[in-house]
Amino acid sequence: MQKQLVTIIVPCYNEAQNIPMLVEQIEHIWESLRDRYDYELLFVNDGSRDGTTALLSDLQRKDFRIHYIELFRNFGKEIALTAGIHHARGDAVLLIDADLQHPVALIPRFIEKWQEGAEMVVGIRSDNKGQNPIQKLFSKLFYSFTSLAGARYILANTTDFRLLDKKVVQEFNRLTERNRITRGLLDWFGFKTEYIYFVADKRRFGKPGYGYLKLLKLAASTFVSHSLLPLKITGYLGILITLVSGFMGLAILVGKYIFHDRYFSSFTGPAQLAILLVFLVGIILTALGLLALYIANIHAEVVNRPMYVVRHKQMS
């Protein structure tokens, strides 16, 4: 039986201290898999400024299973992963962080689930030792919001630690959007997915490349690209304001000038002006909401996601 090839993709941004140990751990764990699977290690050097570059070229010369791609500058993990997936040749692709936060010991279980028929195997972080309570709170809030906003396929605590079947890789390579969260896109397809829970260890050496600001930006962009809710809310608010203030304005006009009611006559000129202004603001917000719908259509056309994903074709 021919052995299957697993491409292990490792995005690296200043990871020179972690890489040797990662390589060693993978080599070690593969002892139990080598009869049925080969692996190739594909490092994506995302513009590192420590010794990562030299280290990778050194490793590559010593071990034929090790390859690397070097990006021109730091493009961020999402793009680095994408570049890796584009260049993978394996029957399956495994994404793993360089900093040893994703336990290498679980790799055989990912492969096992894949052999049992899962098209994607996703690691879910049940606890992250490197996260402080504030980060945990933010991550909780974020997932509640995206799920409320309709992007229910984005599950809480899923990570980039995942295995993709070749089929998934092929579909993924058709995506053209630039501003991307790799795992959000992968989840969007709806491939047959299995989950593996793990506890993320502390990062071994070095600092996480994602500071608070970067994380916030990432959250905002995920939210915007997977949900229309913020835009729609504006429109709904506009409709509400227009209706309420319109009704009030009408009541005042009719009460004051037609029925000369005492209560309605007490609304002074400035008060009426205020209501008129609020009414106009309502109309503007409604128009914004409408505009949003048009923009949403344009957005959908521009990101050019495949309209459908075929699972199986049976044609004679």
94 binds ligand UDP (CB under 6 A): no
Q: Which residue do the tokens 């961020």 mark?
A: 76
- In the bound state with ligand UDP, the residue whose beta carbon lies nearer, of 100 and 285, is 100
193-200 and 120-128 beta bridge pairing = parallel
- Euclidean distance between CA atoms 62 and 56, whole angstroms: 10
Task: Give me the sheet containing 4-12, strands edge to edge.
Answer: 66-70, 37-45, 4-12, 92-95, 158-165, 120-128, 193-200
Minimum CB separation of residue 52 from Mg ion in Å reads: 15
Tokens 């993320």 map to which residue?
200
Q: Which residue, 11 or 238, is less far from ligand UDP as judged by CB?
A: 11
Closest to Mg ion by CB, 15 or 119: 15
- Span near Mg ion by CB under 5 A; candidates 24-32, 51-59, 201-209, 296-304: 201-209
* Choice between 82 and 242, CB closer to ligand UDP: 82
Which residue lies nearer to ligand UDP by CB, 71 or 149? 71
Residue closer to ligand UDP (CB basis): 182 or 245: 182
User: Can residue 101 be called a binding residue for ligand UDP (CB under 6 A)?
Assistant: yes
Burial letters for 27-49: b for 16+ Cβ neighbours within 10 Å, e otherwise? eebbeebeeebbbbbbbbbbbbe
Distance CA 22, CA 194 (A): 24
Residue whose CB is nearest to ligand UDP in the complex, by number:
209
DSSP one-letter code for 155: -
Binding mask 80-99 toward Mg ion (x if CB under 5 A, else -) reads -------------------x
Q: Identify the residue whose tokens are 């606890």.
A: 127
Binding residue count for Mg ion, defined by CB under 5 A: 3
Asked if 12 interacts with ligand UDP (CB under 6 A), we say yes
Show the DSSP H helices in the chain as ranges: 19-30, 52-62, 77-87, 107-115, 133-148, 166-172, 182-189, 212-226, 229-253, 262-265, 269-303
- Binding flag, residue 101, Mg ion (CB under 5 A): yes
Q: Which is nearer to ligand UDP, 97 or 119 (CB)?
A: 97
- Residues in 41-80 at the binding interface with ligand UDP, rule: CB under 6 A: 46, 74, 76-77, 80
User: What SS3 class is residue 203?
Assistant: coil
Instruction: Kindly state the smallest distance separating residue 199's Cβ from ligand UDP, in Å.
Output: 13
Q: Which stretch binds ligand UDP (CB under 6 A): 114-122, 206-214, 243-251, 294-302?
A: 206-214
Q: Which two tokens stand for residue 307?
A: 């309209």
Residue 13 touching ligand UDP (CB under 6 A) = yes
Residue 209 binds ligand UDP (CB under 6 A): yes
163 φ/ψ angles, rounded to the nearest 5 degrees: -115, 135
Q: Footprint of Mg ion on this chain (CB under 5 A)?
A: 99, 101, 203
Q: Footprint of ligand UDP on this chain (CB under 6 A)?
A: 11-13, 15, 46, 74, 76-77, 80, 97-99, 101, 203, 208-210
